[in-house]
Amino acid sequence: MNIVITGASQGIGFETVKSLCTDSEHKIIALSRNKDQLEVLRKECLAINANCHVYPIAFDLQDREKYSLLYRDVIEVFKSVDILVNNAGYLSTTPFDEVTSEEIEKIFDINVYSVVRLIQLLKPLMGKEGHSHIVNIGSMGGYQGSSKFPGLSIYSASKSALHTLTECMAEEFKEDNIAVNCLALGGVNTEMLAKAFPSFDTGVSAEEMGKYISEFISVKKVLFNGKVLPVSNSTP
């Protein structure tokens, strides 16, 4: 399968690519800003499977002007996309009373607007050669009825927006042979989690979650659409 995954330079995205690369049939575009880390990822993947196909693309999802260049880079690797995993994310812990418009804009730009931009960019490459699947990485923080935490209002609201966007896009893309689902993750031990909950151990490693996401997206036929699935055995 031809797969694009964002936020691949560290944490959950990094580990998802490492798990996906064990299948030599997959061609994987690993996207994020940190070029050096993407190269570390590529080398680690080759050490796992010498026949793997991992293509790093260093790109800042906030760089609106450069999306046409990104499109060019993607179609150099493959002409159709089977799976797009919108995993890149940004979290800030500034209390609500102090959070600035710039910070709100940044959180929503990375967690929501860039997802819209990337889907608009790659949708013409999806659904043509069989069924395609867009998997958004949401959060239990944005899941209705879950525990909420001070300092995470804007981040959680951005993830709620992503959840609703998932449900609505699934409806809009029904005729396009593209399924859209969202995994609302609970806590996973990564740098992002350490920022929000220093020294908290969730009991779930990035490697375990990466393997879970890799297996989730690797199924040949997706039997659901427009779903926000909680992937959590505890909160946060």
Ligand X SMILES: NC(=O)c1ccc[n+]([C@@H]2O[C@H](COP(=O)([O-])OP(=O)(O)OC[C@H]3O[C@@H](n4cnc5c(N)ncnc54)[C@H](OP(=O)(O)O)[C@@H]3O)[C@@H](O)[C@H]2O)c1
If binding means CB under 6 A, how many residues of this protein chain bind ligand X? 29
Check if the beta carbon of residue 143 is closer than 8 Å to that of residue 184: yes
Nearest distance in Å: CB 105, ligand X: 12
Tokens coding 160? 């709620």
**Interface residue with ligand X, options 16, 19, 132, 139 (CB under 6 A):** 139
Decide if residue 56 touches ligand X (CB under 6 A). no
**Closer CB to ligand X, 132 or 139, in the complex:** 139
Contacts of residue 15, defined as CB under 8 A and 6 or more positions apart, other chains included, come to 205, 206, 207, 209, 210, 211
Tokens coding 153? 């209002």
One-letter-per-residue 3-state SS of 138-201: EEHHHCCCCCCCCCCHHHHHHHHHHHHHHHHHHHHCHHHCEEEEEEEECCCECHHHHHHCCCCC
Check if the beta carbon of residue 125 is closer than 8 Å to that of residue 75: yes
Task: Say how far apart CA 107 and CA 157 lie, in whole Å.
Answer: 10
**Interface residue with ligand X, options 126, 135, 153, 187 (CB under 6 A):** 187
Q: ω into residue 95 within 30 of 0, thus cis?
A: no
Decide if residue 185 touches ligand X (CB under 6 A). yes
**Interface residue with ligand X, options 5, 20, 137, 152 (CB under 6 A):** 137
Decide if residue 119 touches ligand X (CB under 6 A). no
Decide if residue 191 touches ligand X (CB under 6 A). yes
Task: Say how far apart CA 153 and CA 93 lie, in whole Å.
Answer: 8
**Closer CB to ligand X, 28 or 193, in the complex:** 193
Decide if residue 34 touches ligand X (CB under 6 A). yes
**Closer CB to ligand X, 28 or 188, in the complex:** 188
Decide if residue 188 touches ligand X (CB under 6 A). yes
Task: Say how far apart CA 218 and CA 231 lie, in whole Å.
Answer: 17
Interface with ligand X by CB under 6 A: which range of 9-17, 18-26, 145-153, 171-179?
9-17
Interface with ligand X by CB under 6 A: which range of 2-10, 69-77, 143-151, 218-226?
2-10
User: For binding to ligand X (CB under 6 A), which residues are involved?
Assistant: 6-13, 32-34, 37, 60-62, 87-90, 110, 137, 139, 185, 187-188, 190-193
